[in-house]
């Protein structure tokens, strides 16, 4: 009797241990974290360049390649890819900050969607007849090189030797390219060069930003979207709009349209690690030297920033998810982009 009881207890214990193991394994599976060096499925600086050559090769007339600038320290080319035949121009910039690689994946996959389905999908044809898409995978090829080659996961800025010691210090060197645009640049006192948010020595001091400024002067974009990821997680899964003066009627009208468009996008993207959908952040956010304010105030474009990625159940911000998770995130944004642009044709935003 006792022996039978002990045997039953042992098998119960065994079951409990097994259940714990299953729980541990399955909870590992449902709590994704960062994986660095990046999974091989991600693009890197080399494969991105090859892909760009392939998509814009001689036998591929539907995508035009523009090399519109070079990085300041390593002289790396900055590319824009143009596709579509419409009169309405859309700008998508995948990356300003080297460590925020999800945006590069999203904009390149969007280009592939347009490229592959231009004949077979009537809705894609409609988009290409209406719009011309300008896709810039990264304006920070130096930061992207460091991160995508597996050298350092959090290389945010470009590679300017800001401390002048003739060595590239991954954690501290460089200028934050999304604080360097010639817009409200003087509105704050700034931070020291070692700070991740260092805005540079003067407005548009960085060749990467100069390249975008000159590129932007040649084409009017009715909408400009900038992809980012929140390394701290504090800004994750939200869309950020430009600053505006509510007493300025023109700015208020443009802001109102931007808000509606951003709301449409947000409502189509489910959060990655929490309930609900992306949100549009409407209270004050940084406006010093950033791209969305530059395009909004200098060129009267509707412009917003999307913080992709999210915070997992352990409170960790996941900006370098494993391949499977990354693909799911990209897919959601492709669906949202397609729906948004179709809405821009069929709905009234003004
Ligand atoms: Zn960013």
Give residue 229 CA to ligand 1 midpoint distance, Å.
Answer: 6
Looking at residue 28, what is its pLDDT? Answer: 47
Q: What crossing angle do the helices spanning 102-116 and 323-346 adopt, rounded to 10°?
A: 60
- List, in order, residues 6 or more apart from 99 with CB less than 8 Å away: 143, 147, 153, 154, 155, 156, 229, 231, 319, 320
Give residue 186 CA to ligand 1 midpoint distance, Å.
Answer: 20
Give residue 308 CA to ligand 1 midpoint distance, Å.
Answer: 10
Looking at residue 22, what is its pLDDT? Answer: 47
State both tokens at 225: 């979207």
**Is residue 197 within 8 Å of residue 264, measured between CB atoms?**
no
Give residue 218 CA to ligand 1 midpoint distance, Å.
Answer: 25
Give residue 43 CA to ligand 1 midpoint distance, Å.
Answer: 18
* Rounded Cα gap, residues 267 and 247, in angstroms: 28
* Rounded Cα gap, residues 205 and 300, in angstroms: 23
Give residue 96 CA to ligand 1 midpoint distance, Å.
Answer: 6
**Is residue 48 within 8 Å of residue 109, measured between CB atoms?**
no
Looking at residue 207, what is its pLDDT? Answer: 98
Looking at residue 27, what is its pLDDT? Answer: 47
Give residue 202 CA to ligand 1 midpoint distance, Å.
Answer: 20
Looking at residue 127, what is its pLDDT? Answer: 98
Give residue 143 CA to ligand 1 midpoint distance, Å.
Answer: 12
What single DSSP character describes residue 321?
-
Give residue 90 CA to ligand 1 midpoint distance, Å.
Answer: 20
Q: Which helix (H) or strand (E) holds 90?
A: strand 88-93
pLDDT tens per residue across span 292-346: 999 999 999 999 999 998 899 899 999 999 999 999 999 999 999 999 999 999 9
Give residue 227 CA to ligand 1 midpoint distance, Å.
Answer: 7
Name the residue with tokens 């904009």.
107
Give residue 100 CA to ligand 1 midpoint distance, Å.
Answer: 6
Please state the φ and ψ torsions of residue 33, each to the nearest 5 degrees. Answer: -130, -165
Give residue 94 CA to ligand 1 midpoint distance, Å.
Answer: 10
Give residue 234 CA to ligand 1 midpoint distance, Å.
Answer: 12
- List, in order, residues 6 or more apart from 327 with CB less than 8 Å away: 41
Give residue 7 CA to ligand 1 midpoint distance, Å.
Answer: 59
Give residue 176 CA to ligand 1 midpoint distance, Å.
Answer: 9
Looking at residue 303, what is its pLDDT? Answer: 98
Q: What averages of pLDDT result for each successive group of 10 residues across the chain (350 residues)?
A: 46 50 49 93 98 90 96 98 97 98 98 93 97 98 98 98 96 98 96 97 98 98 97 92 96 97 96 92 88 98 95 93 96 97 88
| Protein residues placing their CB within 5 Å of the ion ligand 1 | 97, 100, 228
Looking at residue 29, what is its pLDDT? Answer: 55
Looking at residue 5, what is its pLDDT? Answer: 41
Name the residue with tokens 């060069």.
193
């Amino acid at each position: 009797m006792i022996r039978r009881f002990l045997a039953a207890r042992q098998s119960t214990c065994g079951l409990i241990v097994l259940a714990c193991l299953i729980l541990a394994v399955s909870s590992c599976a449902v709590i994704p974290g960062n994986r660095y060096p990046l999974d091989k499925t991600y693009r890197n600086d080399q494969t991105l360049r090859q892909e760009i050559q392939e998509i814009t090769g001689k036998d591929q007339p539907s995508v035009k390649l523009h090399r519109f600038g070079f990085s300041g320290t390593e002289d790396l080319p900055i590319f824009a890819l143009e596709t579509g035949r419409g009169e309405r121009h859309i700008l998508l910039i995948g990356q300003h900050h080297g460590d925020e690689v999800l945006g590069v994946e999203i904009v390149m996959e969007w280009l592939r969607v347009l490229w592959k389905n231009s004949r077979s999908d009537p809705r894609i044809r409609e988009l290409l007849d209406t719009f011309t898409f300008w896709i810039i995978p990264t304006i920070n090829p130096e930061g992207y090189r460091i991160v995508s080659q597996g050298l350092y996961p959090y290389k945010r800025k470009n590679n300017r030797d800001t401390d002048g010691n003739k060595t590239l210090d991954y954690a501290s060197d460089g200028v934050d390219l999304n604080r360097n645009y010639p817009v409200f640049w003087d509105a704050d006192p700034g931070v020291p060069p070692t700070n991740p948010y260092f805005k540079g020595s003067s407005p548009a001091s960085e060749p990467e930003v100069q390249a975008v400024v000159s590129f932007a002067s040649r084409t009017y974009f009715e909408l400009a979207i900038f992809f980012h990821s929140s390394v701290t997680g504090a800004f994750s899964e939200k869309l950020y709009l430009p600053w505006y003066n509510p007493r300025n009627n023109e700015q208020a009208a443009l802001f109102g349209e931007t808000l509606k468009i951003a709301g449409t996008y947000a409502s189509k993207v489910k959060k990655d690690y929490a309930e609900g959908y992306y949100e549009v952040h409407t209270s004050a956010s940084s406006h010093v030297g950033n791209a969305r304010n530059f395009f909004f105030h200098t060129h009267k474009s509707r412009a917003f920033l999307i913080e992709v990625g999210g915070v997992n159940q352990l409170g960790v911000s996941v900006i370098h998810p494993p391949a499977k998770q990354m693909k799911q995130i990209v897919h959601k944004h492709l669906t949202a982009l397609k729906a948004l642009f179709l809405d821009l044709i069929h709905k009234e935003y003004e």
